[in-house]
Amino acid sequence: MTTTQVDRRIEQFQNNMRLVRTEVGRVIVGNDAVVDGVMTCLLARGHVLLEGIPGVGKTKLVQTLADVLHLKFSRIQFTPDLMPGDIIGTSIVREDEGGRKYFEFQPGPIFANMVLADEINRATPKTQSALLEAMQENSVSVGKTTHPLQQPFFVLATMNPLEMEGTYPLPEAQLDRFFFKLKMGFPDVDELHEVLDRTTQAREPQVDRVLAQGEILEMRETAREVPVARPVQDYAIRLTLATHPEASGAHALAKQYVRFGASPRGTQALILGAKVHALIHDRVHVASEDVRAVALSALRHRLLLNFEAEADRVDTDAILTRIIGELAAP
Amino acid sequence: MSDREILLTALDGVERRLRVNRNLDVLTRAATAILAAAIAAVLLQALAGPRPGVFGLTLPVALFVLACLVVAGIALSRSRARRPLEDVAAEADRRGGLHDTLGSALWFTQQGTASPWIPLLLGRASRLAAGLDLVRLVPIVVPRGVRVVLLLAVALAGLSWLAPKLPPLRDALANDATAIKPEGEAEQIATLRELAEDAVRRGDTTAKTKLQRVLAALERPGASPEDKRKALDEAREYVAQRSFEAATDRERLRQIADQLGGRSEFGEVTQALRDGDAKGAADALKRLATARGESAAGREPAAAEAAQSPPGEGDLATLQESLQAVAQNPDRNLTGETQGKVAKAVQNLEEIAKRLDGAAALNQARRKLDAVSMSMSRESRLRAARFGQQQGAPNGQSPETGAANIQGGTMFRQAAVAKEGEGQRDGGRTGDASGNAQGDPVLGDEVKRPQAKYQLETVRSEAREGPDAADAVFYSASRQGDAKTGYEAAPQQYRHAAEEAMSPERIALRHRPIVKRYFTQLREQDGK
């Protein structure tokens, strides 16, 4: 690949991102950071966990994104009685023309490019595990057969932080599988006006499909090629280690409130997310600023806090914000 | 020029300007240090006066020159050191808001990574580097320390102006200092020598011998402080004895005056004797003898009688006897025998006066000896302090309890209390030795607990019968001690432990009330 080709691919990447933002912006009001975060996950081959109170547009965002990206989309509403087979599919008995019976695999809703796992914490851990295995391996095993999932395979799980009764919160090991955890905030007054203007009229805004499957895969490859200098990589590692209470470079807050720090998968998410962030911001290298920009989304669900943090009502965002603010950049 | 060269050239420029700023800072610090040293030198020079030091320079000036050389050396070595280019690139990125472009480009140029992205990055970095406005990026900044330098310069100028006015103060301090400086010792020795010569003139051979012995000990080359101290102590003892004798003589003179009674013709003599003025009394007695018509005929037997007694004896008993004889003589005119008594009394009084003068001179000598002794004791103060430290250090062995190496010292007091009689014991409280007592009811002082904690140990005596069959009770080192974990840390650790214990439940703390309520409701429903 020549420099010119790289230049062209970067330009194409940014054009595509611009188109996606524009189209999504027709439906979703505000939440630009969340849209960028979701796109970053998609392009970094990760999955995203969306958290927000009911009605802020989590599901709407995912549906809109699926419309814009021209990908096969499926939605699974997680409930306590949802079974793994309901997600991955099942083998049914069929009969051929000769009257012989045979098993045929009927793929479940997970066989799509973009899967919306709505209210993932309402399903039982067994069902959650079925989804999470697919997320990690990009394939589904039924009986003796392994069925690969079509790429890009992208899971957006939503979680409601308020109604915890009758839910099965995701264990830390499964939370770690998610590339980013994004929080959708409540819109301000102007944004609420805009939401009402768009959604309470006879015709709601429609979006065009602007990105095809091949273009997304190409964008993924481009993002992976962005070079990272060692000092910046070192910064990402120091940032991760600062969350470990037993590490030598641990931050004081981590020592006080964190039980387990971010995993190496968290560091991978930092660097990959930073690469996409750098490209979005027209850079051909990863800067420490890119690492800082994605640090909160990449690490907030990977920190396990101790009892004292819960008692003092300290959350991971507060700890990470302090660490990011105080860690010396390269 | 390649992208790499453009980048390196720009970084060189940034490094130069950063170095200028750093050198300004170093120079300011150096100037601060040198000016401070100069101020100290001026003050020292003014207070200590010109004294030869190193290489013909006075000590303050020599120290000042040394400080300047050290500071100049440090400043030179720092100013010559170049910052690594990686640091320079990071600094330029930070100052210019370049998002680590220069730093990353520099790193990739050093690594030689083959990727089509690197030329792209280098191209962007070189364009950024070429467009850098170095003057705005790294402005030359006057360090804040310059204000301090200016203040110090003003202070130095003021002190230089004030320094010539300081000699009176210096002299005053110097005069005061002679009392404690070793040079003062020579002065005191000279005074002692004068006193010894004076004793020779007065014929006080004992005093002369004592003082000369002290002088010999003080002046002997290689004499140890201990020898000097011994000689001084011996001399001081002799002087004290002489002073005591003089005081006794004065007391006896007062008693003699009382015995003379209120006879008017002896008024002057009596008064002089009461004042302890033997010389005055002798003169008054002479005048009295003259007034009573001392005849030439009577002089010769008187002189003969006076000559019969050994001269210089100064016996107070003889004086008393003579004076009483003179006082009891009913004749207005003195006879030859009485005149002899008067002459003898006068002679005795003169002898006593000489002894008193000698004692007064020795008293003066004693003050000088004290001064010498004081200077010697100051010299050995450090050794004394060290000795005290050794004495105060914990001794591994306790005389009463065996090997008890306890922080805070061995239990000497406990041993002392044990040896005291029952009636002398301080309340008979066994806890006193280790500081367990609340306080002494008589003295009222609060007894401070030692750092080490003790526990009471009782050892049963093997001999269960007889007067020595008492249990040995003593305090030994306890396994109890200061807490190794602070109070604040302890609840925290407890919480961690509690959380660890509860974690298998997999129910977060905030959910537990909900779960509890759920089951409580179930129970209530079951009850219905």
Could you tell me the pLDDT band of residue B459, with boundaries at 50, 70 and 90?
low
Q: Cβ separation of B499 and A330 shorter than 8 Å? A: no
Q: How much of chain A, in percent, has pLDDT values that exceed 70?
A: 99
Q: Cβ separation of B518 and A165 shorter than 8 Å? A: yes
Contact residues on chain B for A171, CB-CB shorter than 8 A = 506
Q: Cβ separation of A283 and B120 shorter than 8 Å? A: no
Could you tell me the pLDDT band of residue B478, with boundaries at 50, 70 and 90?
low
Please tell me whether the interface predicted TM-score (ipTM) of this complex is above 0.90: no
Would you say residue A74 has pLDDT above 60? yes
Mean pLDDT for B307-322 is 58
Contact residues on chain A for B120, CB-CB shorter than 8 A = 3, 6-7, 284
Mutate to test the interface with A, among B93, B99, B510 (most CBs of A within 10 A): B99
Mean pLDDT for A176-187 is 89
| Separation of alpha carbons A251 and A239, rounded Å | 9
B99 touches chain A (CB under 8 A): yes
Give first-to-last CA distance, chain B, whole Å.
92
A285 touches chain B (CB under 8 A): yes
Q: What is the pLDDT of residue B421?
A: 44
Q: Chain A closest CA to B512's CA: distance in Å?
A: 11
Would you say residue A285 has pLDDT above 50? yes
Q: Chain A closest CA to B491's CA: distance in Å?
A: 10
Would you say residue B321 has pLDDT above 50? yes
A167 touches chain B (CB under 8 A): no
What token pair was written down for A117?
Answer: 């796992």
Name which of B5, B511, B445, B469 is nearest A162 in CA terms.
Answer: B511
Q: Cβ separation of B118 and A225 shorter than 8 Å? A: no
* Residue A129, number of CB atoms within 10 A of its CB: 14
Q: Where are the alpha helices (DSSP H) in B448-511?
A: 489-502
Q: Which among A98-112, A266-280, B260-274 has the top mean pLDDT?
A: A266-280
| Separation of alpha carbons A268 and A291, rounded Å | 11
Would you say residue A330 has pLDDT above 90? no
Name which of A143, A139, A163, A86 is nearest A117 in CA terms.
Answer: A86
* Chain A residue whose CA is closest to B513: A165
Q: Cβ separation of B511 and A164 shorter than 8 Å? A: yes
A163 touches chain B (CB under 8 A): no
Least-confidence region, from A140-149, B208-217, B467-476: B467-476
Q: What is the pLDDT of residue A178?
A: 92
Would you say residue B161 has pLDDT above 60? yes
| Separation of alpha carbons A251 and A240, rounded Å | 10
B507 touches chain A (CB under 8 A): no
Q: What is the pLDDT of residue B418?
A: 47
Check if the beta carbon of residue B417 is closer than 8 Å to that of residue B426.
yes
Could you tell me the pLDDT band of residue B382, with boundaries at 50, 70 and 90?
very low
Would you say residue A282 has pLDDT above 60? yes
Contact residues on chain B for A279, CB-CB shorter than 8 A = none
| Separation of alpha carbons B321 and B333, rounded Å | 19
Mean pLDDT for A140-146 is 83
Closest in B117, B495, B496 to A6, CB measured: B117
Would you say residue A136 has pLDDT above 90? no
Closest in A231, A306, A329 to B107, CB measured: A231
A208 touches chain B (CB under 8 A): no
Closest in B101, B111, B116 to A2, CB measured: B116
Q: Cβ separation of B108 and A227 shorter than 8 Å? A: yes
Mean pLDDT of chain B: 70
A81 touches chain B (CB under 8 A): no
A231 touches chain B (CB under 8 A): yes
Coil/strand/helix, residue A305? strand
Coil/strand/helix, residue A240? helix
A165-178 pLDDT, tens digit each: 778 888 888 888 89
Q: Cβ separation of A227 and B104 shorter than 8 Å? A: yes
Contact residues on chain A for B119, CB-CB shorter than 8 A = 3
A11-56 pLDDT, tens digit each: 999 999 999 988 888 888 888 888 889 999 999 999 999 988 888 8
Contacts of residue A54, defined as CB under 8 A and 6 or more positions apart, other chains included, come to A160, A162
Closest in B103, B124, B495 to A308, CB measured: B495
Would you say residue B396 has pLDDT above 50? no
Could you tell me the pLDDT band of residue B494, with boundaries at 50, 70 and 90?
confident
Name which of A215, A223, A221, A218 is nearest A285 in CA terms.
Answer: A223
Could you tell me the pLDDT band of residue A290, with boundaries at 50, 70 and 90?
very high
Whether cis (ω within 30° of 0) applies to the bond prior to B311 is: no
| Separation of alpha carbons B326 and B302, rounded Å | 13
Q: Cβ separation of B117 and A227 shorter than 8 Å? A: yes
Would you say residue A222 has pLDDT above 70? yes
Would you say residue B492 has pLDDT above 80? no
Contact residues on chain A for B121, CB-CB shorter than 8 A = 227, 284-285
* Beta-strand pair A73-77/A114-118: parallel
Please give the torsion angle defined by the CA atoms of residues A208, A212, A218 and A221, in that order, rounded to the nearest 10 degrees: 80
For B:259-318, CB contacts with A below 8 A are none
| DSSP classification of residue A210 | -
Closest in B94, B107, B115 to A230, CB measured: B107
Q: What is the pLDDT of residue B399?
A: 42
What per-residue string of b and e applies to B222-236 under the rule 16 or more CB within 10 Å gives b?
A: eeeeeebbebbeebb
Check if the beta carbon of residue B63 is closer than 8 Å to that of residue B50.
no
A89-104 pLDDT, tens digit each: 888 888 888 888 888 8
Q: Chain A closest CA to B80's CA: distance in Å?
A: 25
Q: Cβ separation of B100 and A287 shorter than 8 Å? A: yes
Closest in A6, A288, A310 to B120, CB measured: A6
* Chain A residue whose CA is closest to B518: A165
Could you tell me the pLDDT band of residue B480, with boundaries at 50, 70 and 90?
low
Q: Cβ separation of A7 and B120 shorter than 8 Å? A: yes
